A and B are shown apart, each in its own frame.
Chain A
Amino acid sequence: MSMTHQILAHAASQVSALAAYAQTSTAAPTAPTFWMPIGASTISQGVDYTLDVINWICYVSFALVIGLMVWFVIKYRHRTGDKFRTDYPHHNTPLEITWSVIPTIIVIGIFVVGFRSYLDIYTAPKNAFDIKVTAQKWAWSFQYPNGAISDDLYVPAGRPVRLVLRSSDVLHALYIPDFRVKRDIVPGRYTYAWFQCDFPTGQPGKSPRDPNAKTVTGMEDPAQAHRLSCAEYCGTGHSKMNRYVYVLDEASFAQWMIDQSQWMDKIPEEELYFKAGPKIYARCQQCHSIDGALGIGPSWKGIVERVKAYPFVGEGKEYGTWEDYVRTSVLIPGKYVVPTYGNVMPSFKGQLNDKAIDAVIAYMQQLDKFDPKNGKLKPEFDPATGMKK
């Protein structure tokens, strides 16, 4: 191979690499800046542009005001005992009107720019894909049109998504910084938020917050998933209401919805406790420990014995069986509140079906097989069979 040939080949590969880079860079969210995190939604550029405009107005005004201040202080510095200057102006009406009118024009300009990008944020397109969001102390629940429910938010890429927000207790706010989306969730009324993200993040094999999780293709870095937070103060677990948003391409999203709606159906009854239990417990662990530690609600450790010992559980009593008590507590939490604890648990009616409640009950019975730190099966058990390795 001649020298020229080599150089040409090298150059060609450089060009194609550059072209590939250009392609990926257009198909990726805007990079984080000093001020803003990555911008991944269709509205983020408009918001960032507005922010830039305001920032530059601020930099210039600040430099002007503080520059003049420093200059005047140095130039007109006076030391005790010196004579005072008397040649100063008392007022200057044209100047004062000018510096009232110029800021007026500037703020009108800012208002208009901000208003235009706000219209984009406020109005959801008609063809939006609806996802129902329930916020409660202190968990999120996302419900899809086919009945699937998830704790993290999964959305289709390249399609406007409208979130229908409701709260089952106090005020919350849904906040996805990378999408520049925020909306208060007000109990007693529905509110909406919408966004469209064109860049798939892929789907994790497991929760990305699990250090042992192996992510699947397209999801090399869990940080690519977008953070979703609660932004309106809601009490003890406010700062724990962080989940992730996964953006899937249309086909994977459709498949994911089907899998998600059926995930428990495929699990045989006797395997529920270790295949479904930990997943469901993840929503309970904000308040209920499994190692006896004090929490917002009673610990699940020893709960079976404790419930059986309650004087109102048993045949012919208020609750026929202890399972019956657990079921009622999940669906109507205020019916019997364990003394010294507050009546603060939200109802899980409509979110946990009978099979899920079965899984919780089975999980409570087999609690010693689970790691108290994360609620998952202890390493000495085989995750496929639940048996000791």
Chain B
Amino acid sequence: MTTIQLPSPGAISDTIEARPESDNYLTHTRGILSWIFTLDHKRIGVMYMWSVLGAFLLGGTFALLLRTELLTPGPTITDSADTYNQWFTLHGAIMVFLVIIPSIPAALGNIIMPIMLGAKDVAFPRLNLFSYYLWVTGAILCIVSLSMGGFDTGWTFYTPYSTTTTAGGVIPVLTAAFVLGFSSIFTGLNFIVTVHKLRPPGMTWFRMPLFLWSIYATAIIQVLATPVLGITLLLLIVERTVNIGIFNPSMGGDPVLYQHFFWFYSHPAVYIMILPAMGIISDIIAINSHRAIFGYRFIAFSSIAIAMFSFIVWGHHMFTSGQSALMNTLFSAISFSVAIPSAVKVFNWIATLYKGSVSLTTPMWYALAFLFLFTIGGLTGLHLATLSTDVHLHDTYFVVAHFHYVMMGSALIGMIGGLHHWWPKIFGRMYDQRLGTIACWIIFIGFNVTFFTQFILGSQGMPRRYYDYQPEFQIYHVISTIGSYIMAVGFTLTAITLFGSLVNGKKAPANPWGGRSLEWQCASPPPFDNFAKAPRVGDCYDFTVVHWDPKIGGYRVDESNDPEVNPAAQGTKAAH
């Protein structure tokens, strides 16, 4: 029988602060090899983070090229429609497969999740490193495909265009997406096992921070949905190389079957992108409101509900595809069901602000931006789930605007918010919050200028993936392009803020925002093995024990009144 050693009041922070300051996971071992072969989840997460940010820079560059090309009808910076088609395909494929899907789970999740859970590492550290190198392989294959003639299929690889196009890079990029799929599956598998098996004593399911719930729900989708993408892409490769008719009607295949397979993965994939961001936002809002999250269980269950519903709504991408009217009707009805847990989450976040103590830190500004953009992204989903309006709006810029509000305005803004939230933890440096907040505002404004305009463009009838367009649409395109430049300025400022902090940032306290979950109780940056002994797990949304300490410029958790820690204090703690 094992007994659990309960530390004395305040012991955790005391022991941690007593450690030698220089020994943390960044400095524990040195040399490039110690990074390449590391099994430490934090280092793998950091490598993921830099890689994903690099891919984001690349994908963003293509976005700017696209927007610049669309400044005028006809040729602007390239006179080849094929070049334009390659740009938007690359932009989409990079942003989806290399950036958004791995951004939160693989980068931030890897760094934070085990610490938040109270574990020393993920369940399978070698698998974790392997999944990172699969990501690298996928990224390299993407670049290889460019040198082999690129690909112009759109990120959706719709057949029979993708099996008949003469662009030479289609097979390498399909292989890349296949390999990246496995990277994602392994991460998901790792996280599911970690959450099930490595929770320390006291970390019950309903004591898990909501970020963990959302990462867990995400991992389930990753494991269940991604294999379908894998086999679909494999079939596509087989069709293209050995001419077996699976999807191409001229060989007896069915192109609509491909769409079913593709969206059976890619719709749940939307939730792989958005759920972790929702988790981050739940925690940022609760911590910066310094109060318990409102309706914890409703939020936790709504994550699982969204994960489940996400598997049965894929047909709403295919209302005009030739799918039967009955199927369309069913898919439309089921699609609305996703709206409800999403709405519940938004209401809970708003209610968390109510009677809170709202600190407007940089991460909090990102969370508020997320609320604004996600509300628009979610509400415009109603137009697209509705049958008759979707027929008009499908495959227009309205759809482009909608999914950018969800995938960029919500998922990526959530990721950037999370980056600002945990940056002091990861690197042990505070960034200039004023600069960070200004950057957040610039991105927010630029985003709305870019993408709100595209709602109008779409409902006025401008189809997507158009190199050339009618002159009457030009004014909208010009506004949208200006917005994208504003965003570029915002992201540059963000980069300056964050990288600047590594050079001359103040040393970060262990708990700069007043968090209660476990990662705020170990030092910044965390020590190599996270916790010297199993940490004591309290209620991670009970902020009554968190106090501002001007001496350390951060917050301190004082549990001396907690009866679990100090039996003498029985009854003094307010019961909720």
A189, B291: Cβ atoms closer than 8 Å: no
> A85-B291, A88-B356, A230-B463 are contacts. A182–B298 as well, Cβ < 8 Å?
no
- Report which of A58, A84, A113, A182 forms a contact with B394, defined as CB distance below 8 A: A182
Contacts of A37 in B (CB 8 A): 460-461
Judge if B78 is at the interface, Cβ distance under 8 Å: no
Q: Closest chain A residue to B371 by CB distance?
A: A69
Q: Are B386 and A54 in contact (CB under 8 A)?
A: yes
**Highest count of chain A CB atoms <10 Å: which of B390, B394, B456, B469:** B394
One of A78, A111, A229 near B463 (C-beta < 8 A): A229
A198 to B337, CA, bound (A): 38
A233 at the interface (CB under 8 A from B): yes
CB distance from A264 to the nearest CB of B (A): 30
Interface residue? A181 (CB, 8 A): yes
Which residues in B have their C-beta under 8 angstroms from that of A376?
none
CB of A354 within 8 A of chain B? no
Interface centre among A43, A76, A230, A240, by most B CB within 10 Å? A76
Q: Is the interface of B mostly helix, strand, loop or mixed?
A: helix
Number of A-B contacts (CB under 8 A): 269
Q: Which of the candidate stretches A22-30, A115-123, A213-221, A367-375 sits at the interface with the other chain? A: A115-123
Q: A262 within 8 Å of B by Cβ?
A: no
Q: Does B206 contact A (CB under 8 A)?
A: no
Answer yes or no: A235 CB below 8 A from chain B CBs.
Answer: yes
Asked if A234 and B336 make an inter-chain contact with CB atoms under 8 angstroms apart, the answer reads: no
Contacts of B63-115 to chain A: CB distance below 8 A: 81-82, 85
With A46-B388, A175-B395, A235-B165 already in contact, the answer to whether A36 and B459 are too (CB < 8 A) is yes
Query: In the complex, A178 Cα to B459 Cα: how many Å?
Result: 11
Inter-subunit contact B255/A96 (CB<8 Å): no
A76 lies within 8 A of B356 (CB): yes
Residues of A within 8 A of B152 (CB): 235
Residues from chain B with a CB closer than 8 A to the CB of A189 are 249, 322
- Residues of B with C-beta under 8 A to A183: 320, 322
Select from chain A the residue with minimum beta-carbon distance to B349.
A69
B339–A103 contact, CB under 8 A?
yes
B536 contacts which chain A residues (CB < 8 A)? none
Q: Which among B82, B253, B353, B396 has the greatest number of chain A C-beta atoms within 10 A?
A: B353
Looking at the assembled complex, report how far the CB atom of A189 sits from the nearest CB atom of chain B, in whole angstroms.
Answer: 7
Q: Which chain A positions have C-beta within 8 A of B266?
A: none
Is the pair A235, B357 in contact by a Cβ cutoff of 8 Å? no
The answer to whether the Cβ of B30 comes within 8 Å of any Cβ in the partner chain is: no
Of A60-68, A125-133, A357-365, the one with at least 4 CB within 8 A of chain B: A60-68
Pick the most buried of A62, A87, A171, A181: most chain B CB atoms within 10 A of its CB.
A171
Cβ–Cβ contact B392 & A177, under 8 A: yes
Chain B residues positioned under 8 Å from A9 (CB to CB): none
- A233 contacts B161, C-beta separation under 8 Å: yes
B329 contacts partner chain A, Cβ-Cβ < 8 Å = yes
Q: Which residues of A contact B344 (CB under 8 A)?
A: 96, 99-100, 103
Q: How close is A42's CB to chain B, nearest CB, in angstroms?
A: 13
CB-CB under 8 A from B256, the residues of chain A are 186
Stretch at the interface among B13-21, B376-384, B422-430: B376-384
Select A182's contact among B356, B359, B391, beta carbons within 8 Å.
Answer: B391
A170 adjacent to chain B (CB < 8 Å): yes
The verdict on A385 contacting chain B, using a C-beta distance below 8 Å, is: no
* List of B residues within 8 angstroms of A90 by Cβ: 292, 294, 296, 576
B386 near A78: Cβ-Cβ < 8 Å: no
Are A50 and B386 touching (Cβ within 8 A)? yes
By beta carbon, the residue of chain A nearest B359 is A78
Closest chain B residue to A43, Cβ basis? B388
Q: Is A108 close to B, CB under 8 A?
A: yes
Known A35-B460, A111-B336, A182-B320: A188·B255 in contact at CB below 8 Å: yes
Q: How far is the CB of A93 from chain B (nearest CB, A)?
A: 9
Q: Does B54 touch A at the CB level, under 8 Å?
A: no
> Is the CB of B574 closer than 8 A to any CB of chain A?
yes
Given A114-B388, A232-B395, A236-B82, CB of A76 within 8 Å of CB of B353: yes
Asked if B552 is an interface residue, CB under 8 A from chain A, the answer is no
Residue among B386, B456, B469 making CB contact with A35, cutoff 8 Å: B456
A68: nearest chain-B partner, CB-CB = B350
| Binary CB contact string for chain B from 242 to 266 against chain A (1 if under 8 A, 0 otherwise) | 0000000110011110000000000
- A205 CA to B343 CA in the complex, in Å? 54
Range, interface on chain A: 35 or more
Contact of B81 among A46, A182, A187, A239 (CB under 8 A): A239
Q: Which residues of B contact A170 (CB under 8 A)?
A: 160-161, 164
A65: chain B residues at CB < 8 Å are 346-347, 350, 371, 375
The reply to whether B359 and A62 contact each other, CB–CB distance below 8 Å, is no
Q: Is A80 an interface residue (CB 8 A)?
A: yes
> Contact mask A82-98 → B, CB, 8 Å, 1/0?
10111111111001100
Contact of A76 among B292, B355, B465 (CB under 8 A): B355
Establish whether residues A227 and B355, one from each chain, have CB atoms under 8 Å apart when the complex forms.
Answer: no
Is A110's beta carbon under 8 Å from chain B? yes
- B residues within 8 A CB of A68? 350, 353
Q: Are A104 and B340 in contact (CB under 8 A)?
A: yes
How far apart are the CA atoms of A57 and B381 in the complex, in Å?
Answer: 12
Q: Assess whether B320 is in contact with A72, with CB atoms less than 8 Å apart.
A: no
Q: What's the nearest-Cβ distance from chain B to residue A91, in Å?
A: 5
Is A386 close to B, CB under 8 A?
no
| Contact A118:B328 (CB < 8 A) given known A76-B357, A91-B296, A104-B340 | yes
Instruction: Please tell me if A180 contacts chain B, counting CB pairs below 8 Å.
Output: yes
Within 8 A of B (CB), among A184-243: 184, 186-189, 191, 227, 229-240, 242
Docked-complex contact A88 and B292, CB < 8 angstroms: yes
Q: Given A88-B292, A235-B152, A54 and B396 touching (CB < 8 A)?
A: no
Rounded to whole angstroms, the CA-CA distance of A182 and B388 in the bound complex is: 10
Contact indicator B382/A58 (Cβ below 8 Å): yes
Query: What is the CA–CA distance of A307 and B355 in the complex, to the nearest angstrom?
Result: 83
A238 interface neighbour in B292, B382, B466, B576, Cβ under 8 Å: B466
Q: In angstroms, how far is the closest chain B Cβ from the Cβ of A170?
A: 4
Does A344 have its Cβ within 8 Å of any Cβ on chain B? yes
- Is B189 close to A, CB under 8 A? no
Question: Which residues of chain A in 30-78 are interfacial with respect to chain B, using CB atoms and an 8 Å cutoff?
Answer: 32, 34-37, 43, 46-47, 50-51, 54, 57-58, 61-62, 65-66, 68-69, 72-73, 76-78
Indicate whether A81 reaches chain B with its CB closer than 8 angstroms.
yes
Q: Which chain B residues lie closer than 8 Å to A187 at the CB level?
A: 160, 249-250, 255
Q: A233-B158, A235-B85 are in contact. Are A62 and B392 (CB under 8 A)?
A: no
| Contact A91–B298 (Cβ < 8 Å) | yes
Q: A186-B249, A187-B250 are in contact. List 13 more A-B contacts (CB 8 A).
A: A37-B461, A54-B389, A65-B350, A76-B353, A77-B358, A90-B576, A121-B391, A177-B460, A177-B461, A187-B160, A188-B254, A233-B85, A233-B158
Give chain B's interface residues, CB within 8 Å of chain A.
81-82, 85, 152, 154, 158, 160-161, 164-166, 249-250, 253-256, 289-292, 294-298, 320-322, 325, 328-329, 332-333, 336-337, 339-340, 343-344, 346-348, 350-351, 353-360, 368, 371-372, 375-376, 379-380, 382-383, 385-392, 394-396, 456, 459-461, 463-470, 543-544, 546, 548, 550, 574, 576
23 examples of A-B residue contacts, CB within 8 angstroms: A43-B388, A47-B392, A50-B389, A65-B350, A66-B371, A66-B375, A69-B371, A88-B294, A90-B294, A118-B329, A122-B325, A169-B164, A178-B461, A182-B320, A186-B322, A188-B250, A188-B254, A189-B249, A229-B461, A232-B158, A233-B464, A236-B82, A344-B164
